[in-house]
Amino acid sequence: MYPVRPALQRYGWGSETDLPDLLGFEPDGGPYAEAWWGAHPGGPALAGTAGEAKPLDAVIAQDPEAALGGESLAAFGERLPYLLKVLAIARPLSIQVHPSLDVARAGFAREEEAGIPRDAPDRVFRDDNHKPEMIIALTPMVLLSGFRKPSKVREDIAGIGGPVAERLATLCADDQPDGLAAFLRGVMADEEAPGLVSDLAFVGARRGASANLAVAAHAASAYPGDRGALVALAMNVVNLEPGEACFTSDGIVHSYQSGVGLEIMANSDNVIRAGLTGKHIDVAALLDVSVTTPGEPFRPAVTRDGRATHYAPPVREFGLAIADGGEAVFGSGPRMVVALEGEAVVRSAGEALTLPRGGAAFVPDSDGPATVASAGRAAVAFVPLSP
């Protein structure tokens, strides 16, 4: 068992205080967006071992079978299959989508062959993996996930008024087999669309505006003139209360708007963006891999087992549980434990490790079953390969 410290990502949309408060360090006035407890080469956690700190991916590479277990090793190779994060969102994230496994592998190989550095701003495929993900709200959160009925989008667009709105409204037809693809192309191609974003910010801020207009207007205010706010208007608004979850599969366009959440995903950092960002945008690539037909956001199954609440996304790479106010036992495999509220004590292989709030531990497969005793709440990530 290894105590671990997360890698911190300081993106511009991050909160100045939420992650410093969780992790117990003094803020410096800049944004802290994400804490990563994982082994992605772009930001591995640091694991305490033999009196020093080593990147977790290097620790796993020393003995992959001991760290991951034979079942995970056979299914996913010599890497931790998941990446666990806390996101602290002060302003909206980009409109984005994640590629399928086949698309990620082909895109990564193509960009490697082209010699594009993996940290280049215009690099799309930073690894060869897909990125299904699930978020659990730690505070109230607002998300956008997938597209709603075109007729509903048309109503809100028409409510903004003006010739640009009229043009875009004509592209929102319920009988189109590709859903809102024509609307998305129109938003990106219309030279006057940035002006409509300013009108959206004004109309959506009015009292009595629809929920979608209000959320899109908030995005428009955070990113003046950004066409992504019009894309946001076409999406489903999801309001999560603490403890509620939403799952995003490959190809589902999404954007997290506000709040603090615990996120787990396949071990990838592949993101294709279409707005609400200063980063690289590739609208054509996004449309190539996105589901643009209307669909409801996916809410994963949630079950209670003793002192643990289990969230079951429809993937093999990861599962997640929240242990609260008592003891919960977790089977073998590679596990990551993070104390979210109060202390947590992790016991495995005759060893006990006490985690303060914000503290974390990686429990390798070779340690066998682990018991997590939490005074408050602790997150436990694992690989649910076996029934």
| Residues 21, 1: Cα–Cα separation, whole Å | 25
Bridge partners of 137, per DSSP, are 261
**Residue 236, CB half-sphere, CA atoms under 13 Å: how many?**
20
**Phi, psi (degrees; rounded to nearest 5) at 46:** -100, 125
SS3 state of residue 232 = helix
Element housing 382 (H / E): strand 370-382
The secondary structure of 16-64 as a DSSP string is SSHHHHHHT----SS-B-EEEES--TTSPPEEEETTEEEEHHHHHHH-H
| Residues 33, 322: Cα–Cα separation, whole Å | 22
**Phi, psi (degrees; rounded to nearest 5) at 223:** -130, 75
Residues 6+ apart with CB under 8 A from 113: none
Element housing 106 (H / E): helix 101-113
**Phi, psi (degrees; rounded to nearest 5) at 132:** -60, 145
316 catalytic residue (yes or no): no
Element housing 303 (H / E): strand 301-305
| Residues 75, 299: Cα–Cα separation, whole Å | 25
Tokens of 385: 């390969």
Q: Among residues 126, 148, 154, 273, which one is catalytic?
A: 273
Active-site residue set:
273
